[in-house]
Amino acid sequence: MSVGSEAKGWFTVARTLKIEWAPGEKVTGRLSMPGAGHNTEVGVLLAHGAGAGQDHPFMVQAREGLAAAGFPTLTFNYAYTEAGRRAPDRAPRLLAVHEAAAHRLAQYCGRVVLAGKSMGGRVGSHLAGDIGWPAAAMVYLGYPLVPMGKGEPRPTDHLQRVVAPQLFVTGTRDRLSPPTLIESLAASLPDAAVIVVPDGDHSFKVLKRTGRTSEEVLDEIIAEVAAWLLPFVRG
C-alpha cells in the first residue's frame, strides 16, 4: 500500500512493509521516502515508545517530517504492539525486532540512523552499544534515563560503547529525561549533543500559556534533528 502525504510544499510516499524478525514471525513497518532527487544514502529508523505504536500521531508526524526533510524514514511495531498487547516484551525480543527493522531499512539506503521515542530510543542504544550495530548516528526523543516512579537513573555504561554521534532531545518538564541529567550524561560521552525544548514534557507537549501546539513544537524538533543530521549526508 502506498500513501501520499502533501503539505507545506513537500510530498512523501509511505509504503507498508512486513518485517520478518524470527522464522515465521513478522511485524508491520511503514516506510516514507523523500521525493525524487533527495538523499537516499542516509535513512532514519524511528522506533516507537512503550505506550503507543507506530501509527500514533506523534510517530506519523515525525516520520513524515523526517522524510520531507530528505531522509528515508521507517517506523515499525514491536511484536507486543503488533499483537495488540500493552506490556512491552523483554529486552531480547525487543532487540530482535529492532535489529530486523534496521536491516530492512538498510536495503533502501547505505547508512541507518537509529532514532526512537523514549523506550524505542533506549532499545536502539542497546542495539548499537551492546550488540554493535553500525549506526550512522543516534537520536533519542526523550531518552528515559529515570524509570517511571523511580528516583535513580538507569545504568548508561552501554552509551559509552556507542561509536556513533548521539543526539538527545528533552523537555524542561520531562521527569524521565531531566535536562540537567541528560546534559551531564551527554558531556560524559565522546560525541553527543542535546536539544532542550522549553516547557516540554516527555511527549514534548508544552503549557497552554506558550500559545504553541504540540504539532508546532514537534515540527520544530524535527527541523532541528534534520539540521543535525545533514552533515552525515554530506559526509
Confidence of residue 14 (pLDDT cuts 50, 70, 90): confident
Q: Model confidence over 133-167: pLDDT tens digits?
A: 999 999 999 999 999 888 899 999 999 999 999 99
- Looking at per-residue confidence, does 5 or 37 come out higher? 37
Number of Cβ atoms within 10 Å of the Cβ of 222: 21
Q: Model confidence over 51-91: pLDDT tens digits?
A: 999 999 999 999 999 999 999 999 999 999 999 999 999 99
Q: What is the pLDDT of residue 12?
A: 55
CATH number of 2-234: 3.40.50.1820
Q: Residue 73: enclosing H or E segment and its boundaries?
A: strand 73-76
> Is the overall model pTM greater than 0.75, yes or no?
yes
With 50 as the cut, is the pLDDT of residue 2 above it?
A: no
Taking the C-alpha atoms of residue 21 and residue 27, their distance in angstroms, rounded to an integer, is 7
Rounded alpha-carbon distances, angstroms, from residue 83 to 49, 58, 198: 16, 21, 36
Q: Model confidence over 99-109: pLDDT tens digits?
A: 999 999 999 99
Domain ranges of the chain: 2-234
200: CB partners within 8 A, 6+ apart: 170, 171, 172, 173, 174, 206, 217
Rounded alpha-carbon distances, angstroms, from residue 103 to 76, 90, 98: 12, 21, 9
- Looking at per-residue confidence, does 165 or 37 come out higher? 165
Q: What is the pLDDT of residue 148?
A: 86
Average pLDDT over the chain reads 92
> Would you call 127 helix, strand, or coil by DSSP?
helix
